[in-house]
Structure 1
């Protein structure tokens, strides 16, 4: 961590300089994760800034952001490493050609085939082998299965993995690990116990206005306020996909490009595709636009 960042307040300021506005609770949790060298488990609804936090922390630390996107069926090999089989095959043919009619030593050939130059490092291995500290983002871990969680336990505890053909790879500088979950299922307690926990909620109207003004400085303050208030009301409507901060930004930018400096029913109805992603949600909001824009 930068020597200049010595308190949660200083970290909040450093995050703000990247365009990420953190409240006291978030800044404190991120600061402690850095100082205690503990993974940070970020849980919350989609669009609350979990992934963006990891990106902002990487900027603050001047670190490489290494992202592992989890999905159903992901396994350890997709997270750790693979062997470059086409290159290994070419290498083997080159050895055979060079040897001619001489018999190749099997052990020597095998050792040369499993040299690290043929090793394809996937995100977890890249983060462990980095020459400087990296930020390892394990995104949407709730999409993975129990077996993959068990694999992560070892990585998070030991900051090391074992590759049978190479041996143990242990991080000289452990990465800052940020795990995110949209809570589509409960992640096991064993994984959470190894992390510091942070729940991210949608920002209140005042903070959302600040985010819009920070990320879109050309958007008029009145328009930013109207967008933030309207989006806040949409989130209370039990939509299939309530809009997140990213959708607020898209909507405000779209309205600004349309030349709007305020939000009226006609302009809102015409631009709902920037903020709502399901037809059913758009229909529901259109039917109540007067109340949404009140």
Structure 2
């Protein structure tokens, strides 16, 4: 277990300790979220490290990570709680077989906590060890507005109402990280309850630092070429630009292939690690990949001669 950071610099150190290379703006909003007890809403393209923030905080702070993966059609039963109906039916049958059919007592018994199945949002309100968990609500934009509306109670007061029982309030409110890939706009009412930060693609220096932290076995000239190539690739007219996650995957793939430098054939053979749409791959393979490689190699050489 580790105490919450006392400053922005402490937050940077905390993230670095878990090999997350954050810029100061992101470290600032993470620090404020932790100190103010406010949910943190992170938007940005897929693969830029939004989800990783929650994992890193849980690991660095020694807290439980509770993840709610959002999807279309997500409802209360999957996200918050549901009753264990098979077990309730067994309890009813046993009561009937024994002749104990006091309906009021039976109703009270079968709708007790021992028959309650707790899903991620309800689990996040509990802190049996006295430490607030980290709650990750991942890809909220995949759900619908009805579920967003339900989240308002959870994020405003850190409580959930179970009609058959009571309103369950968190004694130690969780650290909440919400992510969105912005496939649709999330309602303002929910955003107002959060601190907001847009997570963009890193610049060359920070992406190189990320690669060196996460894939030290491929550091050096190869890492520099990979980062420069990906940075240039993001400037092309692509359907889906590669994120940092794809950069790390590519570095790992090249390391597995025992490559120490980029060449046109290797790029063409491994474009599927970086790009996930055939139109993008068809656009970039061959002469386009050669053009980008020549461009970045010339830039690296010029920088080295300065």
TM-score normalised by structure 1 residue count: 0.95
In 2, distance between residues paired with 1:220 and 1:3? Answer: 32
Is the Cα contact below 8 Å between 2:46 and 2:243 reproduced in 1?
Answer: yes
CA distance in 2 between counterparts of 1:251 and 1:134 reads: 33
State the Cα deviation string for residues 221-269 of structure 1 (Å, max 9, x = none).
1111111111112212232221111111110011011110111101111
2:210 aligned residue: 211
For 1:273, the equivalent position in structure 2 comes to: 272
Do the aligned partners of 2:127 and 2:133 also contact (CA within 8 Å) in 1?
Answer: yes
Uncovered stretches (5+) of structure 1, i.e. residues with no partner: none
* Matches for 1:203-242 after TM superposition, within 5 Å: 203-242=202-241
Deviation at 1:179, TM superposition (A): 0.8
Q: Aligned equivalents of 2:213 and 2:15: distance in 1?
A: 12
**Displacement of 1:37:** 0.3
- Contact kept, 8 Å, 1:30 with 1:40, in 2: the verdict is yes
What is the match of residue 87 of structure 2? Answer: 87
Give the structure 1 partner of residue 142 of structure 2.
143
Is 117-126 or 72-81 further displaced after alignment? 72-81
User: How far off its partner does 1:8 sit?
Assistant: 1.0
Q: Distance in 2 between matches of 1:291 and 1:190?
A: 47
Aligned residue number for residue 250 of structure 1: 249
Contact 1:205 1:232 in 2 (8 A): yes
2:115 to 115, 118, 122: 118
Superposed, which structure 2 residues align to 1:162-177 within 5 Å?
162-177=161-176
Which aligned pairs between 1:23-102 and structure 2 lie closer than 5 A?
A: 23-97=23-97, 99=98, 102=99
1:121 deviates by: 0.6
Kept in 1, the 8 Å contact 2:211–2:219? The answer is: no
Aligned length: 291
Which residue number in structure 1 is paired with residue 303 of structure 2? Answer: none
Secondary structure of the residue that 1:136 maps to in structure 2?
strand
CA deviations over 1:169-190 (Å, ceiling 9, x no partner): 0000000111111111111111
State the partner residue of 2:126.
129
Looking at structure 1, the residues matched to 188 and 167 of structure 2 have their Cα atoms a distance apart, in angstroms, of: 27
- Tell me, yes or no, if the aligned pair for 2:126 and 2:132 is still in contact at 8 Å: no
Which segment drifts farther, 103-112 or 173-182?
Answer: 103-112
Give the structure-2-normalised TM-score: 0.92
CA RMSD of aligned residues (A): 1.4
The reply to whether residue 183 of structure 1 matches residue 182 of structure 2 is yes
Query: For the residues of structure 1 that align with 2:100 and 2:68, how far apart are their CA atoms?
Result: 43
Distance 2:73 2:100 in 1: 43
**For the residues of structure 1 that align with 2:185 and 2:270, how far apart are their CA atoms?**
35
Q: Is the 8 A contact 1:220 1:261 kept in 2?
A: no
Judge conservation of contact 1:18–1:59 (CA < 8 Å) in 2: yes
Report the 3-state secondary structure (helix = DSSP H, G, I; strand = E; otherwise coil) of the residue aligned with 1:41. Answer: strand
Distance of 1:3 and 1:144 partners within structure 2: 34
* TM-superposed deviation, 1:3: 3.4
Hey, what does 2:302 align to over in structure 1? Answer: none
1:3-22 equivalent positions in 2, closer than 5 A: 3=3, 5-22=5-22
Deviations 1:3-56 (A, max 9, x none): 372111111111111111111001010000000000101011111100001111
Q: Give how far 1:94 is off.
A: 2.4
